[in-house]
Amino acid sequence: MQPLPDLVTLLRDIHWALVGGLALRAYMPERMTLDIDILIHDRDAGAVRAAFESAGYHVTGQLRIGGFTVQNPAPNSMPVDVLTRDDPWLEEAFAHPSYDSAGYPVLGRPYLVLIKLQAGRTQDLADTQRLLALTPLAERTAIRALVEQFNPELVEDYDSLITLADLEFGLPQGNSGAGQDR
């Protein structure tokens, strides 16, 4: 498991969650990554920036997708990409996080799938396929409803990733028939 700075202490009462490659470790074996991606609400950006700066981090840039990058000057420290959003589902997602084995909050699987589908980058789509592999049918159906509610244009992509996950990893236990959630 890749070591992380003590973000729980650093960010105290601010709602945040892991969302990048490290978030996957709450659901499957983690993959290596070169940075730490966290998600916060837009309104908390100033407080989060101040918390990082008080802990000795330096802001090293702005993210085109919203947010900023901070870096601890200590050797071998990973940069932290702080993604800022104000999606209507964000409060609900922060209210019901999952946790990785180190106790860090992770965006729950439905919202992690949604945000990775929205990002649409190759690695995010591969992560989504792995997140959906062997996910029970009832959970897949709930995730599909969430995608349909907030980004209906992504439902076809979601269905395709379900099909690919089932072809690569097999159907989830207890499910029979096609893996598509329709």
Task: State which residues of the chain have pLDDT below 70.
Answer: 1-2, 174-182
Q: Report the pLDDT value the prediction gives residue 175, as an integer from 0 to 100.
A: 57
Q: Per-residue pLDDT tens for 11-37?
A: 999 999 999 888 998 998 878 888 999
Cβ atoms of 40 and 84 closer than 8 Å: yes
pTM over 0.75: yes
Q: Report the pLDDT value the prediction gives residue 31, as an integer from 0 to 100.
A: 80
Q: Report the pLDDT value the prediction gives residue 177, as an integer from 0 to 100.
A: 47
Distance CA 154, CA 119 (A): 11
Which residue, chain included where needed, has tokens 């929205």?
118
**Segments in 3-44 forming alpha helices (H):** 7-11
